[in-house]
Amino acid sequence: MTPELKQRIDDLVSQNKIVVFMKGSKLMPQCGFSNNVVQMLNSLGVPFETVDVLADYEIRQGIKEYSNWPTIPQVYINGEFVGGSDILIELYQKGELQEKVEVALAS
C-alpha cells in the first residue's frame, strides 16, 4: 500500500464517526452484505458515511490490507475497525452495536 493511499484511508476513518466501506452507497447498496449493514445503521437512526469501493479500485484493494480483513463491507466506528456484515449482525442482535454507536457519537 502506498503512503498516499494509507493517508486517504486514515483520513476517511478519522474524519467520520461511522464509515462503511461498501459496494455501492447507502442509497443504493450493490450487494446483500452491504445492504444488511446499511439497514442496521439506518434502523439505529444514526448518521454515517459510506465509501463505494466499486468506484475506486485503489480503495477496494487497499482497505483489505489496511484492516487485514479480506471482505467488504467494512465498518469503522470512532476510528476503530469493527468488522463486516456478520460481525455487525451479531453486535446488533446483542445490543452492542447501539452502545458502540452511542459512545462514538457522544465523543
Domain that holds residue 102: 3-106
CATH number at residue 68: 3.40.30.10
Can you give the pLDDT of all 107 residues of the chain as single tens digits? 999 999 999 999 999 999 999 999 999 999 999 999 999 999 999 999 999 999 999 999 999 999 999 999 999 999 999 999 999 999 999 999 999 999 999 98
**What is the CA 63 to chain-centroid distance, rounded?**
10
Distance between CA 18 and CA 6 in Å, rounded?
A: 18
Please count the structural domains in the chain.
Answer: 1
